Amino acid sequence: MSEPAAPTTYRVVFQPSGRQADVPVGTTLLDAGRAMGVEIEAICNGRQTCGKCQVVVEEGFFPKYGITSAADHLTAPDGRERQYWESHPPLPGRRLACACEVQGGLLVFVPEESQARKQVVRKAATERAIVVDPAVRLYYVEIEPPTLERQLGDWDRLAAELAARFGLTNLRLDPILLGSLQQIVRAGDWRITVTVWQDREVIRVQPGYCEELYGLAVDIGSTTIAMHLCDLRTGAVLTTASRMNPQVAYGEDLMSRVSYADNREDGLATLHSAVIGALNDLAAEAAAEADITLDMITDIVLVGNSVMHHILLNIPPTQLGQSPFGPAVSDAVDMKARDLGLKLAPGAQAHVLPIEAGHVGADNVAVMLAERPDLAPADEIWLIVDVGTNGELLLGNSQRLCSASSPTGPAFEGAQIRHGMRAAAGAIERVRIDSETLEVNFKVIGRDEWSADWGPGRDGAGADAAETPAERRQRKRQALLGQGPILAAGICGSGIIEAVAELFMAGVLTPDGRFAPQIQSPRLSWQGAKAEFVLAWPHQSSTGRPIVITSDDVRAIQLGKAALYSGARLLMERLGVDHVDKVLLAGAFGSYIDARHAMVIGMIPDADLAKVHTVGNSAGDGARIALLNKNQREEARRLARWVDYVAVALEPRFQDAFVEALPLPHKYDAFPHLADVLAAAAARRRARGVADTVSARERRLAVRRQVTGAVQE
């Protein structure tokens, strides 16, 4: 008697989302989650290197789902996953979702730090003076009904009336409206309101007199999408909707997404569908909040970096991933929103701003529209920094403006950081370190008070000794489920920058970014030549483990900030200037960076701190300006061609500039506006017997391999 065939699928349940499905044997948990809409962090896109996709397999029989879940229902750790766990000792039950394959029924818990959908998106519109002159306008007309003697078509009579009353000649009608035109005209008793795009095409016909005219301004970032719903008659922002870019599930950085689109037959279609689905969801959310319907939205302006631009337009981004990084189209694109798959008014128009170069996209053009560095006085030098996975830079004034993209990498967004995470509830976003005691006070997203005000708690060596194992397990479980006060779950970009700067100012880090071995503190420990510093003790953490900054974390931040600073420095050299007069930090992340801390680590050049400003989501504001004023769309086209793009990574001095920018704050450049801060930090190091002197040869040998790797990437 033959044995029954082995099952080919097993039930897999993800918590806390509760999503479940029958999954084919051999499917990775990451792919299973993606198929169910469970967005798990996958910064390395399944290469088993970032460690952000950690999940926990719950053991036992679960009658609600009719499955028995066990750790051995996954393939055993091998290859890269085993190597990862050897260097990163796991918490009990942890696995990398990208590495383990389904071999039986499973109930999988996705911890907060591994959930990609929990990010706090901070891209609100800012107050700006905008002349309202949109590309779409309303016109009300009354036409004569047809007679037996005069049977001219409804559209022909409507077009003639628009020409006679408003001078709108040579108008065309969107063909999609022909099927409903006669019903609408008669429903309005020959009184009609039409929506006209650019005085060239009728894109909507409504019965009677109507005043509703709405549009969307959208910033499609690599990590987040922000959408502003605007009244096109008044310019008012009615609501803002935002969410994570679902493409994050297919790769954190842009090159990972280019690779995903290239290496899978359905790669581009998957990425395009993901972003269009997100845009439709956001539009529906914004419309519902404003109490309007989607068919009232007749115009949409979209911006994004070059890769996001191509994927949005369903253009293969292959050429953007290889030299000379040529885009398919640089100019602005006008098309029907429906042709993109957007569910707005049937005749709604979509306008995508132009891009500058292969690595500087429409979002940077939108930043120029919003901040107008091209109008800066001739005797001032402005630097605009949009910090993200790729740092985009603008430097200059009304006489000349240069742009560049610096490969900062994803460290500022939590990747390559031991306990890094995006800006989600529980992420440490602010850090202060007492320069004498080295005690840490921090603030997490979602909680108003600083950690010092969390109430009595155990601290230092032997922390949590009075807590029983059962109490500890219960506290951890409650924290993971979002019950009770929010605790520290990790550290996000702004917190990482502040932590490194505070450690440097406290004398714990040397200018070369090394932890000083002379420092004695229960927070500082060593594993061979590498060290780690505790920011949050286990009882302050939702995971029940300490949250630390390691030597490798500091090095990752140095590499990222050096790429950004060296880009700015090379632009300054291109313009022949040795200083900047004004610095604007743009973007959702840039808006939450503390300027002083950023300057202390050498992320931006020296400047008067009173002239360093955060300007919010300038790219989204630029999209809004183009939405509300059609002339600004032409201005965007002019700016995109006028700005001088500089490929800084190909500049002969890039590698030297990169190495010079690695120390904190810099190897050579002076920071006179930080003179007191740097002098105090040096005095603290001397008081603790910490020497600052490291030979140039030793410094270059220590970083050469990392620098070369970063340049190649």
Same domain, 610 and 682: yes
pLDDT attached to residue 249: 67
User: Does 457 score more than 60 pLDDT?
Assistant: no
User: Does 567 score more than 70 pLDDT?
Assistant: yes
- Per the CB < 8 A criterion, the answer to whether 421 and 489 are in contact is yes
Same domain, 89 and 183: no
Max mean pLDDT range (96-100, 466-470, 704-708): 96-100
Same domain, 50 and 187: no
Same domain, 48 and 145: no
Max mean pLDDT range (138-147, 217-226, 396-405): 396-405
Max Cα distance, the chain (Å) = 104
**Average pLDDT across the chain, whole number:** 86
Same domain, 153 and 101: no
State the alpha helices, DSSP H only, in 576-695: 587-590, 595-600, 618-628, 630-642, 654-660, 675-687
* CATH code of residue 77: 3.10.20.30
Same domain, 699 and 584: yes
User: Does 227 score more than 60 pLDDT?
Assistant: yes
User: Does 90 score more than 70 pLDDT?
Assistant: no
Interhelix angle for 630-642 vs 618-628, to 10°? Answer: 130
pLDDT attached to residue 713: 37
In a domain, 128, yes or no: no
User: Does 125 score more than 70 pLDDT?
Assistant: no
pLDDT attached to residue 224: 83
pLDDT attached to residue 482: 47
Same domain, 15 and 150: no
Confidence of residue 355 (pLDDT cuts 50, 70, 90): very high
In a domain, 281, yes or no: no
pLDDT attached to residue 461: 37
Same domain, 106 and 140: no
pLDDT attached to residue 711: 38
Q: Please state, in angstroms and rounded to a whole number, the distance separating the CA atoms of residues 202 and 298.
A: 11
Which range is least confidently modeled, 317-326, 450-459, 564-573, 656-665?
A: 450-459
Looking at 110, 145, 167, the residue that finishes a domain is 110
Residue span of the structural domain in which 158 resides: 136-207
In a domain, 321, yes or no: no
308-to-276, 311, 411, 433, 437 alpha-carbon distances in Å: 11, 5, 20, 39, 47
Same domain, 43 and 186: no
pLDDT attached to residue 243: 84
Confidence of residue 192 (pLDDT cuts 50, 70, 90): very high
Give the pLDDT confidence of 484-543 residue by residue, as tens digits: 678 898 898 899 999 999 999 999 999 999 999 999 999 999 988 899 999 999 989 887
Which range is least confidently modeled, 84-88, 224-228, 324-328?
A: 84-88
Q: Please state, in angstroms and rounded to a whole number, the distance separating the CA atoms of residues 501 and 597.
A: 6
Q: Please state, in angstroms and rounded to a whole number, the distance separating the CA atoms of residues 290 and 93.
A: 45
Same domain, 708 and 564: yes
Q: Residue 643: exposed, middle, or buried by beta-carbon count in 10 A (0-12, 13-18, 19+)? A: buried
586-594 average pLDDT score: 77
Which range is least confidently modeled, 26-40, 53-67, 185-199, 227-241?
A: 53-67
Looking at 187, 207, 227, the residue that finishes a domain is 207
Which range is least confidently modeled, 142-151, 456-465, 626-635?
A: 456-465
Same domain, 78 and 190: no
* CATH code of residue 173: 3.10.20.880
- Per the CB < 8 A criterion, the answer to whether 228 and 365 are in contact is no
In a domain, 526, yes or no: no
Same domain, 682 and 598: yes
User: Does 306 score more than 90 pLDDT?
Assistant: yes
Question: Token digits for 550?
Answer: 């390691």
pLDDT attached to residue 59: 81
In a domain, 634, yes or no: yes
In a domain, 677, yes or no: yes
Phi, psi of 240 (to 5 degrees): -125, 130
User: Does 85 score more than 50 pLDDT?
Assistant: yes
pLDDT attached to residue 5: 76
Looking at 184, 207, 230, the residue that finishes a domain is 207
Question: Token digits for 425?
Answer: 């509830």
User: Does 473 score more than 80 pLDDT?
Assistant: no
In a domain, 168, yes or no: yes
In a domain, 509, yes or no: no
Higher pLDDT pick, 420 / 681: 681
* Total of domains in the chain: 3
